[in-house]
Structure 1
Amino acid sequence: MKDQIIKTVIKDIIKDSISQTGNSAIVLRKVGDIVVEQRPIPIIEDSHCVKIAIKATGICGSDIHYYRNGGIGKYILKAPMVLGHESSGQVVEIGNAVTRVKVGDRVAIEPGVPNRYSDETKEGRYNLCPHMAFAATPPIDGTLVKYYLSPEDFLVKLPDGVSYEEGACVEPLSVGVHANKLAGVHFGNRVVVLGAGLVGLLTGAVARAFGASDVVFVDVFDNRLDRAKDFGATHTFNASKLSAQELADEVKELLGGQNADIVFECSGADACIDAGLKVTKAGGTMVQIGMGKNYTSFSIAEVSGKEMKLIGCFRYSFGDYRDAVKLVASGKVNVKAMITHRFKFEDAGKAYDFNIAHVGEVVKTIITGPA
């Protein structure tokens, strides 16, 4: 018995020794080329920094864009880059000054860290900081690694009962939280969501959680609209082959002859932007979340004539991650319903290819591990 215990201890020591020899990472070397590489294990040098063993990571559309095209706008892939920014994990080491988390805590990782001295950060809108270091945005490496470093104040602890997979879904959910806060959604609001993709679904779900009485999802794919029923939809509408005005008229009818208090445009399509302006009530609000063409045409008379608000939305800011975790923990938003596929860490390359080949059926793919 004693010999067996010794053998087990030795085996564990060897296993731990091997695990510390490298930091497995999913690296995009160039367009169309994803590999597993060994990177140095990160060392905590900032006393407020935390080392996390990554447990789950979601694949984002931006990752796919870098994989296929090598760039998004001004961010161009010029050197190999670790992918991933929707991650959760477990704290394995903390800096000397860390007080917010401890070793063993399970956390969601907010992946964008601003410059602490920019005007935008001081104004409380750090998501707009021009010096933001955002994971998996060239030249910043992402979170698809065995061990990742983060400042302690960009981590949110996951309550008991919230899985690592759900923790990885907090990143896109935070976009929906931020959009709803910008719009000021409250009890009794009539809300329209144009585009029932991932962000649209989550934005609508948050609107219902914030008290909206009506949430109308509009899309051109019936399978997306069917899924919207799991994300707070009170009505769904297929807008195929309709003009912007026809779409607006149909939605108004669904709302009992009333226009929407708040519209979330989540597609970026010209027709939806135009329709969104038309379906917003006088004095109402439209939040533009979807990223379409750099330039588009719409009736500015709708904006000025209705004295409506047209608000841009970019990522998330202070408190959004924390509130997103609360929504998941309370069961008010079921992010598990958006997870359609799972892949192991070593199969990450296959996961990206699968997402591209099955874009119509994938909502969210989770890569598990490696830790």
Structure 2
Amino acid sequence: MKALVLEEIHKLSLRDFPIDAAEKDLAPRDVRIKLHTVGICGSDVHYYTHGRIGPFVVEEPMILGHEASGTVIEIGAEVTSLAVGDRVCMEPGIPDPNSKATRLGLYNVDPAVRFWATPPVHGILRPTCVHPEAFTFKLPDSVSFAEAAMVEPLAVGVHAATKAEIRPGDVALVMGAGPIGLVTALSALAAGCARVYVCDLDDAKLEIAAKLGAITPINVTREDPAKRILAETDGWGAEIVFEATGSPKAAASVFEPLSPGGRVVMIGGQAEPIAYDAGAAMVREARVENIFRYAHVFPRCVKMLASGAIDVKPLITRTFAFEDSVKAFEIAASAPKGDVKMQIELPQ
């Protein structure tokens, strides 16, 4: 089975990889999926460039990729909700069904969760994979494979919007116009925000953001987001601030544009401890939420794509053939301006 393998830092290869033998037999409630489209995530790129994310270290060759869609080609004996030929997207994190976190409904923070392309678990930039029925979701005809491969990052935005407890008419600021920042902005609008400000350094990405709906772009190299938002809200501020940059400098400023009683949602991963202005949080009686991936939102995401409540197509800025996967990662690692989401299509 040919797969895109991270051999070591800055070294990728497209080669046969002996994972198919381990997936030869299906468990009763598993399905076999022929992969169609796989998105390139920032975490995939980070493993490529750094070889680790926090405690997760690549110590041996690993297949990359976890944002995916495909077609069911085989089902286990006890599968009832899916059939051969169904088009699907897949939630990549599989928890221990008997863990306390899972039983409490917090399966995304189960310490035993096995997540695609997170060492030592292999990803799905390969022709086929085996996955549990419970974490595989049928697609309506109106949702393309490319859109379906966006469900995984969209799930982060929807989870963040859910944590923010958005009320109709709220104003929000999203810090960061990368893929996660923009799906968060879309999710905030879908949840009822009257206006969403998005700030970033990249004018090309901000131009994309401005076309997604009631979104005001702010380039932080030329303008202070807090001053702009306070001026346009009669000094009140934004009810919600989403931090989606992973930048310590940005994270240190989350309370500046926040309204009294506002909510901050920390999305961007931080490699080191960050500054936290407890006084600024206190005088606003701010609530701070943190998210780790997502839980219970994949079906909601599929429904919103199908209904048109959220349109992720403008975020897909480049598509590569599977044989060009190494080149795709090299380009993604260079962080070209204006590129939001790059995807790879596998042979069908």
- Would you say the 8 A contact 1:217–1:225 is kept in 2? yes
Q: In structure 2, how many angstroms separate the alpha carbons of the residues matched to 1:184 and 1:194?
A: 18
Find the structure with the greater CA-based Rg: 1
One-letter amino acid matched to 1:267: T
Q: 1:187-246 deviations in whole A, cap 9, x for unaligned?
A: 11111111111111110111111111111111222222111123334322222266xxx5
Aligned to 2:148: 167
Q: Give the 5 Å matches for 1:222-237.
A: 222-237=203-218
Aligned to 1:277: 255
- Would you say the 8 A contact 2:202–2:338 is kept in 1? no
Q: TM-score, normalised by structure 2?
A: 0.95
Q: In structure 2, how many angstroms separate the alpha carbons of the residues matched to 1:326 and 1:206?
A: 13
Aligned to 1:189: 170
Aligned to 2:310: 333
Q: In structure 1, how many angstroms separate the alpha carbons of the residues matched to 2:335 and 2:176?
A: 18
Q: In structure 1, how many angstroms separate the alpha carbons of the residues matched to 2:90 and 2:233?
A: 38
Structure 1 spans left out of the alignment, 5+ residues: 1-22
Aligned to 1:342: 319
- Would you say the 8 A contact 2:26–2:75 is kept in 1? no
Aligned to 2:2: 24
Secondary structure of the structure 2 residue equivalent to 1:235? strand
One-letter amino acid matched to 1:292: Q
Against the structure 1 CA distance between its residues 332 and 338, is the aligned structure 2 distance closer, same or farther, given a 3 Å change threshold? same
Aligned to 1:67: 48
Aligned to 1:254: 232
The alpha carbon displacement at 1:358 in A equals 4.5
Aligned to 1:352: 329
One-letter amino acid matched to 1:50: V
- Would you say the 8 A contact 2:2–2:14 is kept in 1? yes
Q: 1:107-144 deviations in whole A, cap 9, x for unaligned?
A: 00111101111111111011101011000011101011
Aligned to 1:303: 281
Secondary structure of the structure 2 residue equivalent to 1:140? coil
Secondary structure of the structure 2 residue equivalent to 1:36? strand
The alpha carbon displacement at 1:357 in A equals 2.8
The alpha carbon displacement at 1:40 in A equals 4.7
Q: In structure 2, how many angstroms separate the alpha carbons of the residues matched to 1:295 and 1:51?
A: 41
Against the structure 1 CA distance between its residues 102 and 355, is the aligned structure 2 distance closer, same or farther, given a 3 Å change threshold? same
One-letter amino acid matched to 1:207: A
| 327, 331, 340: which one aligns with 1:363 | 340
Q: In structure 2, how many angstroms separate the alpha carbons of the residues matched to 1:294 and 1:123?
A: 29
Q: Which runs of 4+ in 1 moved over 3 A?
A: none
Q: In structure 2, how many angstroms separate the alpha carbons of the residues matched to 1:202 and 1:231?
A: 10
The alpha carbon displacement at 1:89 in A equals 0.3
Aligned to 2:71: 90
Q: Give the 5 Å matches for 1:191-210.
A: 191-210=172-191
Q: In structure 2, how many angstroms separate the alpha carbons of the residues matched to 1:297 and 1:241?
A: 24
One-letter amino acid matched to 1:106: R
Aligned to 2:242: 264
Which structure has more helix as a fraction of its residues?
1
- Would you say the 8 A contact 1:66–1:77 is kept in 2? yes
Aligned to 2:100: 119
- Would you say the 8 A contact 2:205–2:339 is kept in 1? no
The alpha carbon displacement at 1:311 in A equals 0.6
- The CA RMSD over aligned residues, in Å, is 1.5
1:46 counterpart = 2:27: yes
One-letter amino acid matched to 2:119: P
The alpha carbon displacement at 1:360 in A equals 2.0
Aligned to 1:9: none
Q: In structure 2, how many angstroms separate the alpha carbons of the residues matched to 1:40 and 1:307?
A: 51
Secondary structure of the structure 1 residue equivalent to 2:177? coil
The alpha carbon displacement at 1:274 in A equals 3.1
Q: In structure 2, how many angstroms separate the alpha carbons of the residues matched to 1:249 and 1:40?
A: 54
Aligned to 2:198: 217
Aligned to 1:147: 128
Secondary structure of the structure 1 residue equivalent to 2:192? coil
